[in-house]
Structure 1
Amino acid sequence: MQSPNWDDIRVFLAVARAGRLQAAGRLLGLDHSTVARRMGTLEAAIGARLIDRSPRGVVLTHAGEVLRDHAERIEVEMIGASAAVGADTGTVAGSVRLATPEAFGTYLVAPNVHRLHARHPTIELELAPESRSVSLSRREADIAIGLTRPPRGRLVARRLVDYRLGLYAAREYLAHHPTIDTVEAVKAHPLVWYIDELIDIPELRYFDQIVSDAPTVFRSSSIAAQQAAVANGLGIGVLHVFAAEQDSRLERVLPDLEVTRSYWLLMHADQQRLPRIRAVVDFLDEVVRINQHRF
């Protein structure tokens, strides 16, 4: 048996976690044919078939399951070695992928990322602000901002900050419509909301906690798109207070009616000491601290 190449093992781990060659390629920045070729090279070096392919994806063989356990231990050692070398040389560099809910990434991280760059110009931050769940266990991101604490797994988790959501409408819209002074009155106005079947994060399902049975006139999986539609006078929307209060076109409706949620900071236990990871975590803590008044 030949000695397997670590880069090929990294490809194998990505395939094992993603369940598809194409998905693994997207994670690694490789095309499908390169992933397939690297898997073939690794199987030749190991002397065993590692995956079975089907139209529904890939399944690890027994040999693949055995290799995955060893490969993950090697990965942990490589990460530890990288952290030790980085700490010894004082180097803070590299790419960090940060997955966040859209509002956090769009209205808090992006406007402040210049602070991280000024302090650590050799760190490349990859921001993925989405309304879907991201799996850290499949290495889809290095750090994630979640809306709940994960129940188990080798993750480090801590509550970052609580935030509020409330009803908003454009000042121009409110100037030309009757005063909204009760929850019942809201039902007479068009509502901007999510596309329900595209919400896979339960904590985003707060519609009934604020108002139910209101007619929706526009739906989007993007909270930024919802806020833009509301700010331009389409109707009423449930928006993040920390974002909506920064838009002078918007006015709070029924200020006592709100929902509170929490942002959680999540990262891999085996990566938390990497200098580049620590630098981004410090940056996130700074972002929350300087914007505390908005939450």
Structure 2
Amino acid sequence: MNWNDLRYFVVLAGEGTLSGAARKLGKDHTTVARRIDALEQDVGARLFDRLGTGWSLTDAGENLVPVATKIEEDVLAFERQARGDETAHGVVRIAVPPLAGRILFAPRLAELLKDQRHLEYEILGSSVIANLARREADVAVRMATPDQSGLIARKLTNLRHAVYAMRGYTATVPEKDWEFCADGRNTFGDYKQGWVWEQLNRKLPMRVRSDDTHTVLAFVAAGYGLGLLPRYLADEDDRLELVTDDVTNELRKPVWLVVHPDIRRSPAVRMVMDALIKATEAIPDRYKC
């Protein structure tokens, strides 16, 4: 039996569809189907019913889910422990939000690569939270308080936000005609929007919502209206002017460094963690609190 097939089984059992499992595993759906077929042949039992709406576990499959999950956890723990005893060589998987990773952390990590030529990085620049227990990443930078048990987390800093407009917008556009480009990602976006209304003492029309900070900045820089943006990004853009600053830091966005305890002893991982900490220390004070 190929023990790696158990991971395909566990993920497909959780997702319920080939496309969902393939997306989570970073494989194509034909590979997932082939690995499940091989596992069924090895165990001599049908584990899934192939339905038009998805893949449904059979009774045999249901019974094997907790067993497979436990085996997978043990195998991953073995791998993490082995990596934790390695010298500073090999690949370190780093999960970091795309925008902050590119602007705040990539330069410091690049410096480390120049000095440590035996290191390799796999940068997971996605807003999807990587599962460290499953070794989807070795180290993660997160813009939300970690809630997964069993991980070691260190708060790096808080990032500041402010309201911006295109340079000259507030002087040439009457206040009654101001509009707002909203962050439509989550409840924090709704909270930020409410804060803006309080600062301006009124609601603004919103004809644009985006879950991408660069898109919000592009609309604001093009003269669409106001937008709430991280200071480390917007202050560096000469096209923008600051309209309302968050002087009380109500909208501070926490930044956390997260690692699994089994792998934190790895010299390579330790080097990367130190580089991320130094990158945070290098952020100008006006951008953090």
Distance 1:66 1:98 in 2: 29
Which residue does the alignment assign to 1:203? 188
Asked whether the equivalents of residues 147 and 263 of structure 1 are also in contact (C-alpha less than 8 Å), the reply is yes
Paired AA for residue 255 in structure 1: D
Distance 2:271 2:205 in 1: 45
Deviation of 1:168 (Å) = 0.8
Q: Is 1:250 the equivalent of 2:240?
A: yes
Distance 1:108 1:8 in 2: 38
Which residue does the alignment assign to 1:272? 264
Q: Is 1:127 the equivalent of 2:121?
A: no
Alpha carbon RMSD of aligned pairs, Å? 2.9
Q: Is 1:73 the equivalent of 2:63?
A: no
Deviation of 1:214 (Å) = 0.8
Deviation of 1:126 (Å) = 1.8
Distance 1:127 1:262 in 2: 19
Distance 1:153 1:235 in 2: 42
The equivalent position to 1:158 in structure 2, one of 151, 154, 157, is 154
Distance 2:231 2:66 in 1: 47
Paired AA for residue 157 in structure 1: A
Which residue does the alignment assign to 2:205? 215
Q: Secondary structure at the match of 1:6?
A: coil
Paired AA for residue 239 in structure 1: L
Which residue does the alignment assign to 2:230? 240
Distance 2:227 2:141 in 1: 23
Which residue does the alignment assign to 2:274? 282
Q: Secondary structure at the match of 2:165?
A: strand
Asked whether the equivalents of residues 99 and 134 of structure 1 are also in contact (C-alpha less than 8 Å), the reply is no
Q: Secondary structure at the match of 1:265?
A: strand
Percent identity between the aligned chains? 30
Q: Secondary structure at the match of 2:257?
A: strand
- The TM-score, its normalising length taken from structure 2, stands at 0.80
The equivalent position to 1:168 in structure 2, one of 152, 164, 170, is 164
Structure 2 gaps of 5+ residues are none
Deviation of 1:243 (Å) = 1.2
Which residue does the alignment assign to 1:118? 114
Deviation of 1:239 (Å) = 0.7
Which residue does the alignment assign to 2:255? 263
Deviation of 1:25 (Å) = 3.0
Paired AA for residue 41 in structure 1: A
Asked whether the equivalents of residues 18 and 24 of structure 1 are also in contact (C-alpha less than 8 Å), the reply is yes
Deviation of 1:20 (Å) = 3.9
- Cα 1:50–1:106 change in 2 (3 A) is same
- Cα 1:30–1:107 change in 2 (3 A) is same
Paired AA for residue 279 in structure 1: M
Q: Secondary structure at the match of 1:269?
A: coil
Q: How many corresponding residue pairs?
A: 275
Structure 1 gaps of 5+ residues are 179-184
Asked whether the equivalents of residues 173 and 235 of structure 1 are also in contact (C-alpha less than 8 Å), the reply is yes
- The TM-score, its normalising length taken from structure 1, stands at 0.79
